[in-house]
Structure 1
Amino acid sequence: MVCFCFLVDQKRKMKASKPAAGMCSRCGLCFCLTAPVKTSTRFCLIPIYCRSWRAIVCSFCGSVLKSYR
């Protein structure tokens, strides 16, 4: 008998942010921010992948409107 158990966790951290012009297409409000984002993926509490990128994020609903490398 084989049993597979996978525990994968992904966290997103935003550092310092600056206001950006525009409106959110999801909620329709004007709370957009430009921020560097760090995404880290963990498998069974061991970090296996980290990526840093810049994104325009709505601070009200949290959706990513545009991402840059």
Structure 2
Amino acid sequence: MVCFCFLVDQTRKVRRSKPAAGICSRCGGGASVADMKTCTRFCYVPFYWKSWRAIMCTFCGAVLKSYH
């Protein structure tokens, strides 16, 4: 019997951010507009990248709104 196991993971990085008006609905922290980059890897080899913009909490890191 042969069993294959593949590892797929996804990382999300903040490339740039600047302060924005508003507060987080979860923790009450400040908000910022961030340029995000998502990278999906299959067996440690990156095969998909996506850049997008989001409004994030500066304290807890929650994505409050995303613009794809």
TM norm structure 2: 0.90
Q: Aligned residue pairs: how many?
A: 68
Shift of 1:60: 0.6
Runs of 4+ with >3 A deviation: none
Shift of 1:52: 0.3
Where does the alignment leave 5 or more consecutive residues of structure 1 unmatched? Answer: none
Shift of 1:23: 1.1
Percentage identity across aligned positions?
A: 68
Shift of 1:58: 0.6
Where does the alignment leave 5 or more consecutive residues of structure 2 unmatched? Answer: none
Secondary structure of the 1:4 match is: coil
TM norm structure 1: 0.88
The Cα RMSD (Å) is: 1.1
Secondary structure of the 1:16 match is: strand
